[in-house]
Amino acid sequence: MDATLRFLRRNGAVLVLLVILAAVSTAAPGILRWRAINSLLQDNAPMLILIVGATLPILLGCLDLSIAAMASLAAVSAALLSPVLGSASVPVVVGGAAALGGLQGWLIGRLQVPSFVISLGALGIFKGVAMYLTGANMVGITPGIWIYDLLGSRSFGMSNSFLLVLIVAGLFAAMLKFTNLGRNIYAFGANEIAVYISGVRRDMVRSFAFATSAGCAALGGIMMISQTMFASATVAGSLLLPALVGVVVGGTAISGGVGGVLSSLIGGLIAILIRVGVTISGLPPESQDVAFGITILIAVALTTDRAKIGVVK
Amino acid sequence: MMMNKLSAIGLAALLASSTVAVAQDDTSKKLYLGVGNTSAEYWTQMIWGATQVMESVGGTVEVIGNDFDPQKSLQNIGAITAPGCEGCIFTWFPDSPAFTKTFVEKIADAGGFITTLWNRAEEIHPWDTAAEAWVANISFDGVDAGYQNGMALCNAMGGTGEIVVLQGVLDNAPAKQRTMGLEKAIAECPGMTVLEMQVGSWQQAPAQDITRTWLTKYGDRIKGIVGQNDAMALGAVAALREAGLAGKVFVTGTDGSSDVVKLIETGEMLSTMSGLNEYQGAIAAALAYGARTGDIKLSDLTEAQRDFFVQQILITKENATEFLARKPDPKDYTYEAIKADFWAKSAGQIPNGVN
Amino acid sequence: MSKLLQSQGPLLALLGLVLLFSVITDSFASWGNLGAVLEAAAIPAVVAIGLTFVLMQASIDLSVEGVASLANIILAITIANSVTATDIGLWAVPLVLGVGLAIGATSGAISIYVRMPSLIVTLGMWLTTVGLAALLYPGRLPQILDTRITGLAIGKVWGLSWIVYLTLALIIMALLVEKHTRFGRMCRAIGENEPVLVMSGIKVIRHKIAAFALAGGCYAAAGILMGARIGVGNTQSGVGLLFPSIAACVLGGTLLSGGHGGVRQSMIGVLILVTLRNGLIMVGVDPLLQSALEGAVIILAVAGSTWHLRRKIRVIK
Amino acid sequence: MTAFSLEGISKRFGEVTALDNVSLSLNEGEVLGLIGQNGSGKSTIMKVMAGLHRPDSGVVKVGGRAVQLRSPAEAALAGIGLVHQEQSLIQALSVAENLFLDKPAGSTWAGVYRWNSLRDRAKAQLDKVELDIDPFTPVSALSFGQRQMVELAKVLSLEELVHGHLVILFDEPTAVLNPPEIQALFGQIRRIKHRSSVVFVSHRMDEILDISDRVYVMSDGRNVATRDRDAVNPDELYELMVGRQRVNRKDRKPREAHIGAEPALTLNHVTVPGEIEDISLKLAPGEILGLIGVQGSGAETILRTVFGMADDWQGKIEYFGAPLDIDTPAQAVAKGIGYLPAERKTEGMIRNTSVSENVAITYGWQHGRGAGLISRAKERGMIEGWVRKLAIKTPSIAHRIDNLSGGNQQKVVLSKWLFGKTLKVLMLDHPTRGLDPGARSDLFAVIRELADQGLAILLVGDTLDEVLTLSDSIIVMKDGRVSARIEGVQAAPPSEEDLVKAMV
């Protein structure tokens, strides 16, 4: 019995995912078709990769509010650079984004300004720069660049964008579990000062976490334009809250030290399915937001492992 | 943990009960209508028009509010098409022109038909992108709105005067079109000069704060204020009232909302551009439905029939009272009535370079 | 001097901004513009008051925009208006405030009793209240016809609307609550060390729920003032209040980690942000770049005003 | 006359029995000294008395009547107050507010403070402990000693609140106090005896013997002996407590130090503004250098400066002959310097994390597969080795560190430094603070062994005895400066009186 309980607690998010999947597929059996699942995953791949990236700063107990603005900036930059650089625009943009993210992380330590403020400021800066670069116009992607075509298409019957999400999430999960850096990230979230006194390079850990979240955000922006073929300065601007919701629904604690990339991925899938369920429920549009909000709250209540969280703030 | 289990069951029940309610009605008679939100005058009028058409053929409209969030739009379209949606019909407001292509292609993949409102990227058109599914794109002429309001302002000021402009969200097509139209008016009316443009984000309160600041910065140099929509124009009027300048500085808007038309009646505002909002909803629904039933053969349509503006009227003091009194007659909005001449109220093909 | 810097960094940042804009523009330093700044600061200030009590306790409340919009709609449809027949007169004001209090208290209670972080509870509450506002929207934009409400924005004393004076009165009340009541004193203490207070038999749960309720009440008040200002009930009226308000609190020194700051500090933060927006318009900065400049100033102002607090063993989250 | 009693109290936490059928009675006007190892249940018994824990079975009686103590507030109403081991004051509040924080009548009217009344009442309490400060001073502005006195005053305000007899519980109150402050505290305890009974917990036998009328010994959740002071035989008590004789300086052979010729660490005229001034010292491999001084004398600052944690410092530090040019602990660790902080809970242990992660955090990578990959399997064996060697009491190394007793937590934190292969200098800041005698002697042995292996050790000691026992040389600190240097401690130990004279 104890073992069952422990299993339930550890895998709360997976169970919630299955329960919701069961509920949604009862109402609309078509959702279980491979094609439907694939299409949902492809649509939401940009959001999922943002969720994966956003997890690392949250594991530190930080918050990166600039991810959606970074995704837009990256989409715009990639679109502007693609005529010149072709496929190389993707590594250049992702690398540049990671560098900017790393700079954010480094500034948090250097200026000793909370991540909430730094990334809120960065949000404004990225948005402004994206506006300025485009003159508030849309930028189209030159067709025929293989990397965008690749991201927009499928292999093994599965969306390449979503496969990329899985690969990135897998890499990060392995990094968190098997490397010294991963150990340091969890410990940092649990007690920053003790970790500092243990000789861990605090600025480096923080820079890394923010570099990954910015790099993932840039990938998300690029995945998005591989679908839309157009970029604008606000193209991904609305992804911030869904991304944070996904992380939290997965059971990663805002206070840091608890959770993981795969949990967040599951959290993202839960949020997507709830949205699907609410939309096909036939509820009037005015009540859909209410239903979504309440269902998300219940899901979080179920997936949060309270045993590991001290004072709830 | 017991509580956890109970609430898991509750959650399942909640979702199941709400989703089981989905009736699998005849897809040809149900219009999925994607809107910005349901709580603004333009949207309710547009929804009304679409609903009249669908009800006249015994169909229904399912309204989906996306809160101007393209991601939510994408998820909603995904949710509708994922379980299978052969022959579904859609009228959708793409919240950002960047997403129009994705939306129409998704619906094409699912085997549905779609008409879009307002937003498309410059490079894509219904006849060259998912042409078998994207029936038409229907908008209002933002350049014309900007131009006519600008000329009204020019005339009211007697040809000379300094003005300020409250812009919408910068990367929205209507904001850019209305600015282009204003520039066209200025070219014809060189005495009218722009002191400054600021972004009011389509909202009343920020527009009011900006206008208040302008009034202290420029004082009585400001002779006219262009609000690129009615909400921002209302903000400008509120700031003018505070300064005791309401009615003394000319204000223009766009949308034709009844509040603004009333202000035009009383002289506190100069003009606003009103589209035939109910008609836009009706024609969009009718075209999608027509394509689905085969009343319209897409391959036979001209470009001007698939990408066009709906007529609009400039409301000034002369026609304000009449405009307020008008009441759309449901008889004019049946499918049969619209079908008689789908393009009766078209204002022509959307030219290049305005999106 | 260094003492002054330490305690009054944000205030000095504000004065610096004022000085800067006064020197580089002609029109910034005028009574008229001071009025413009105060008018623009009033509603964000009311929101920031509520947020401050929550932030001091090291919780956070994201439901600002939803609650303010909902309050605005409820006010518009229950008072004399152009759409619904309901008119309960000024009773609408306590009704709306009561709704705000109740929503806040609900958020707080869920967070405490279900043991969920306030960030996620209030995020859910945000979505829920936005939906409720849309549900209550009566189909057409309701114009507020009761002049006792709209008069708050139009009636002027010494060049300032009643909205500003009401806000000032609220600030004074909030300061009194913060400094002289057990609840107010406990807010910062809860943020600093909640377990000790629990052990001391302080009714921490009650104080926490009270802070969320007070915050909800403040957002509702902001929704009412917004109704006075725009004269209509609009489901979008609260949009854009959240992040500037939180940024303002943080700019003023009310840290998200709790235990610091207060109403006075947050008000200075609001003024910094509003002055910046006003000044950028006065300078005539390209609208394309405005958000970038605002972002940079937020970072620099917080960095500058907390520079003296830099310690190697400080926890920065 | 019995003022307070516990009868047959048992308390379990999950699988662990913390108290097993414990009885205790406290006479009026009596000071009961409570001793026991860490984890022996003495903290739990205090918490039961203070209303922080509710017993699973047994009866609590106050003045002969059975009562239920559901919260500290109810305990306070029954006249029971706890002076906390850890600082329990809220820094954001004033002294006056803190004093009445846990009292039902808080000088408020309808939730609004009546400041004048509060000030007068606070002043009266502060006078009792002879603390002359403005009651509205924020606690953040007080020194540690002052804070401890405020803690005491907070409990003593029960005198006005409750008419009957008081029971005052002291949970290791002397841990952060210097000798004069301890004497002042004892003065207070003697003063309040006329209307209170006192339970006093300390690790220091001399203190227990100094202040107690009776000694109550706990071991493994049971009461193993109660002795009147006059009948106390310290060695017997130790034996009861720890089952072994006291590690006594007289019995111990002086350590044969093999001190290297070249210094590992040299400080030349190091100054940290406002904390230490012009400190010079040399530390060689194999040497244990003890630093001692009262709270705030700057001994800790020296360690933190060497470890790269000072925000601002001047002077020169050399490390094996080369200038030590570092700015962060990470750089210090990379060079082979380790530091065990005094503040275990906030700076030492990584809470909510397992024992093994706490041990492996610093040097785990050295036992990994390279390229930043760690090997948990390889670590496990080594960590289990250290757990055995340091006799850390933990169900497994996957157990959360929070659930261990203080002494075991400290051993875990220490083992993270012993886990690596590159450590050359180890700095220990109050390593035995809060440890029971058994754990202390374990730790002493480890420290000595480390020095014998060639590690250079800089030690800030908790007690004179500790520094005298371990050190090869001693530096006494006073007000941020060196006030005495003693070489060859093992051969010719200085008298404790001399050291104290140099300290104060």
- From D207, D242, D277, the end of a domain falls on D242
- Whether residue D246 is predicted with pLDDT greater than 50 in this model: the reply is no
Nearest-CA distance from A194 to chain D in Å? Answer: 4
Within-domain flag for D289: yes
Within-domain flag for C204: yes
Chains B and D touching, counted as 3 or more CB pairs less than 8 Å apart:
no
Within-domain flag for B146: yes
- B39 contacts on C by Cβ (under 8 Å): 133-134, 137, 234-235
Question: Which CATH number characterizes residue B251's domain?
Answer: 3.40.50.2300
D300/D151 same-domain check: no
- C312 contacts on A by Cβ (under 8 Å): 196
- Whether residue A267 is predicted with pLDDT greater than 90 in this model: the reply is yes
User: In the prediction, which pLDDT does D413 show?
Assistant: 92
C147–chain B Cβ distance below 8 A for any pair: no
Tell me the per-residue pLDDT of D3-55, one tens digit each, with 9 for 90 and over.
888 899 998 876 567 888 899 988 888 999 988 766 678 888 888 888 888 88
Within-domain flag for D391: yes
Task: Give me the domains of chain A, ranges plus CATH numbers.
Answer: 12-308 (1.10.3470)
pLDDT-derived band of residue B263, with 50, 70 and 90 as boundaries? very high
Contact between A222 and D378 (Cβ < 8 Å)? no
Within-domain flag for D28: yes
Tell me the per-residue pLDDT of B151-160, one tens digit each, with 9 for 90 and over.
999 999 999 9
Within-domain flag for C152: yes
Within-domain flag for C14: no
Tell me the per-residue pLDDT of C86-113, one tens digit each, with 9 for 90 and over.
888 889 899 999 999 999 999 999 988 8
User: In the prediction, which pLDDT does C103 show?
Assistant: 96
User: In the prediction, which pLDDT does D98 show?
Assistant: 84
User: In the prediction, which pLDDT does D84 show?
Assistant: 75
- Whether residue A155 is predicted with pLDDT greater than 70 in this model: the reply is yes
Within-domain flag for C294: no
Tell me the per-residue pLDDT of B61-75, one tens digit each, with 9 for 90 and over.
999 988 888 888 998
User: What's the mean pLDDT in C274-303?
Assistant: 87
Within-domain flag for D257: no
Q: Which of A9, A238, A298 sits opposite B7 (nearest CB)?
A: A298
A56-65, B303-312, D229-238: range with lowest mean pLDDT: D229-238
Nearest-CA distance from B15 to chain A in Å? Answer: 6
- D115 contacts on C by Cβ (under 8 Å): 180
User: In the prediction, which pLDDT does D185 show?
Assistant: 84
User: In the prediction, which pLDDT does B144 show?
Assistant: 94
* Count of residues making up chain C: 317
- Whether residue B306 is predicted with pLDDT greater than 70 in this model: the reply is yes
- Whether residue D245 is predicted with pLDDT greater than 50 in this model: the reply is no
What is the DSSP code string of D401-443?
Answer: GGGS-HHHHHHHHHHHHHT-S---EEEEESTTTT--HHHHHHH
What's the number of domains chain C is made of?
1
Tell me the per-residue pLDDT of A237-265, one tens digit each, with 9 for 90 and over.
889 988 998 998 888 887 788 889 999 99
Cross-chain residue pair C181–D113, CB shorter than 8 Å: yes
User: What's the mean pLDDT in A70-92?
Assistant: 94
Q: Print burial letters for D53-78: b (CB count within 10 Å at least 16), e (below 16).
A: bebeebebebbeeebebebbbebbbb
User: In the prediction, which pLDDT does D368 show?
Assistant: 85
Which partners does chain D have (≥3 C-beta pairs < 8 Å)? A, C
What CA–CA distances, in Å, run from B170 to A62, A132, B197, D335, D453? 31, 11, 11, 55, 71
User: In the prediction, which pLDDT does B21 show?
Assistant: 44
Identify the domain containing residue D325 by its residue range: 262-336+424-504
Within-domain flag for D361: yes
D323/D391 same-domain check: no
Q: What is the three-class DSSP state of D200?
A: strand
- C137 contacts on B by Cβ (under 8 Å): 38-39
Cross-chain residue pair C194–A192, CB shorter than 8 Å: no
B219/B120 same-domain check: no
Within-domain flag for B12: no
D164/D53 same-domain check: yes
Within-domain flag for C37: no
Sign of CA dihedral D49, D55, D60, D66: positive
Cross-chain residue pair C313–D111, CB shorter than 8 Å: no
D84/D191 same-domain check: yes
User: What's the mean pLDDT in D182-196?
Assistant: 84
User: In the prediction, which pLDDT does D291 show?
Assistant: 92
Residue of B nearest to A8 (CA): B1
Within-domain flag for D461: yes
B157/B220 same-domain check: yes
D88/D208 same-domain check: yes
- Whether residue B7 is predicted with pLDDT greater than 60 in this model: the reply is no
B281/B263 same-domain check: no
D365/D495 same-domain check: no
User: What's the mean pLDDT in D497-504?
Assistant: 72
Identify the domain containing residue B249 by its residue range: 142-275
User: In the prediction, which pLDDT does B27 show?
Assistant: 65
Tell me the per-residue pLDDT of C28-53, one tens digit each, with 9 for 90 and over.
888 888 888 999 999 999 999 999 99
B251/B282 same-domain check: no
Mean per-residue pLDDT over chain A, rounded: 89
- Whether residue D244 is predicted with pLDDT greater than 60 in this model: the reply is no
Question: Which CATH number characterizes residue D488's domain?
Answer: 3.40.50.300
- Report the relative pairing of strands B307-310 and B346-349 from DSSP bridges: antiparallel
Tokens 């009442």: give the residue: D121
B284/B223 same-domain check: no
User: What's the mean pLDDT in D378-394?
Assistant: 88
Burial class (CB in 10 A: 0-12, 13-18, 19+), D327: exposed
Tell me the per-residue pLDDT of C175-213, one tens digit each, with 9 for 90 and over.
999 988 889 888 888 888 887 888 777 888 999 999 999
Residue of A103, A99, A53 whose CA lies nearest to A77: A99
- A117 contacts on C by Cβ (under 8 Å): 247, 250-251, 298-299, 302
Q: Which residue has the higher pLDDT, D174 or B237?
A: B237
- Percentage of chain A beyond pLDDT 70 is 94
Tell me the per-residue pLDDT of D449-486, one tens digit each, with 9 for 90 and over.
889 889 999 999 877 778 888 899 999 988 889 988 98
Across the C/D interface, how many CB contacts are shorter than 8 Å?
Answer: 60
- B64 contacts on A by Cβ (under 8 Å): 279, 285, 288
- Whether residue C235 is predicted with pLDDT greater than 80 in this model: the reply is yes
Question: Rounded to two decimals, what is the model's pTM?
Answer: 0.86
Within-domain flag for C285: no
What CA–CA distances, in Å, run from D56 to A242, C201, D114, D385? 47, 21, 41, 36
Within-domain flag for C2: no
What's the number of domains chain B is made of?
2
User: What's the mean pLDDT in A218-233?
Assistant: 92
User: What's the mean pLDDT in C233-242?
Assistant: 87
- Whether residue B16 is predicted with pLDDT greater than 60 in this model: the reply is no
- C181 contacts on D by Cβ (under 8 Å): 108, 111-113
B214/B305 same-domain check: no
Q: Which of A277, A278, A285 sits opposite B38 (nearest CB)?
A: A285
- Whether residue D415 is predicted with pLDDT greater than 50 in this model: the reply is yes
Q: Which of B167, B217, B231 sits opposite C282 (nearest CB)?
A: B217
- Whether residue B190 is predicted with pLDDT greater than 50 in this model: the reply is yes
Contact between B181 and B210 (Cβ < 8 Å)? no
pLDDT-derived band of residue A8, with 50, 70 and 90 as boundaries? low
B34/B148 same-domain check: no
Q: Which residue has the higher pLDDT, B273 or D54?
A: B273
Structure ipTM: 0.84
What CA–CA distances, in Å, run from D398 to A56, D384, D404? 23, 10, 12
Q: What is the three-class DSSP state of B295?
A: coil
- Percentage of chain B beyond pLDDT 70 is 92
User: In the prediction, which pLDDT does B24 show?
Assistant: 46
User: What's the mean pLDDT in B72-90?
Assistant: 88
D64/D158 same-domain check: yes
Within-domain flag for D251: no
- From D400, D421, D442, the end of a domain falls on D421
D93/D198 same-domain check: yes
Q: Which residue has the higher pLDDT, A309 or D191?
A: D191
Residue of C nearest to B241 (CA): C154
B135/B172 same-domain check: no
Within-domain flag for C202: yes
Q: Print burial letters for B285-323: b (CB count within 10 Å at least 16), e (below 16).
A: bbbbbbbbeeebebeebeeebbbbbbbbebbbeeebeeb
- Whether residue B22 is predicted with pLDDT greater than 70 in this model: the reply is no
- From D406, D421, D436, the end of a domain falls on D421
Cross-chain residue pair B101–A229, CB shorter than 8 Å: yes
Q: Which of A31, A131, A137 sits opposite B83 (nearest CB)?
A: A31
Sign of CA dihedral D126, D130, D132, D137: negative
User: In the prediction, which pLDDT does D295 show?
Assistant: 65
pLDDT-derived band of residue B221, with 50, 70 and 90 as boundaries? very high
B162/B119 same-domain check: no
* β-pair partners for D167: D80, D197
B235/B188 same-domain check: yes
- Percentage of chain C beyond pLDDT 70 is 98
- A198 contacts on D by Cβ (under 8 Å): 329, 333, 350, 361-362, 416
> Beta-carbon neighbour count of residue D160 at 10 Å?
12
Query: Which residues 146-175 of B are in CB contact (within 8 Å) with A?
Result: 169-171, 175
Q: A83-97, B79-93, D81-95, D212-226 — which one is most confidently predicted on average?
A: A83-97
- Percentage of chain B beyond pLDDT 90 is 62
Q: Which amino acid is at D113?
A: Y
D211/D99 same-domain check: yes
- C32 contacts on B by Cβ (under 8 Å): 215-216
Measure the CA angle with vertex A153, ends A152 and A157; round to 5°. 140
Within-domain flag for B19: no
Tell me the per-residue pLDDT of C48-76, one tens digit each, with 9 for 90 and over.
999 999 999 988 899 999 999 999 999 99
A232, A241, A305, best to mutate vs chain B, most B CBs in 10 Å? A232
Tell me the per-residue pLDDT of A158-194, one tens digit each, with 9 for 90 and over.
889 999 999 999 999 999 999 999 999 999 998 999 9
- Whether residue A310 is predicted with pLDDT greater than 70 in this model: the reply is no
Cα separation of D289 and D281, whole Å?
A: 9
User: What's the mean pLDDT in D440-457?
Assistant: 87
D82/D174 same-domain check: yes
Query: Which residues 234-273 of C are in CB contact (within 8 Å) with B?
Result: 234-237, 239-240
Within-domain flag for D432: yes
User: In the prediction, which pLDDT does B191 show?
Assistant: 93
What's the number of domains chain D is made of?
3
According to DSSP, residue B311 is labeled P
Cα separation of B184 and A225, whole Å?
A: 33
Tell me the per-residue pLDDT of D284-320, one tens digit each, with 9 for 90 and over.
999 999 998 876 788 889 999 999 999 889 999 999 9
Identify the domain containing residue C120 by its residue range: 42-261
Cross-chain residue pair B215–C36, CB shorter than 8 Å: yes
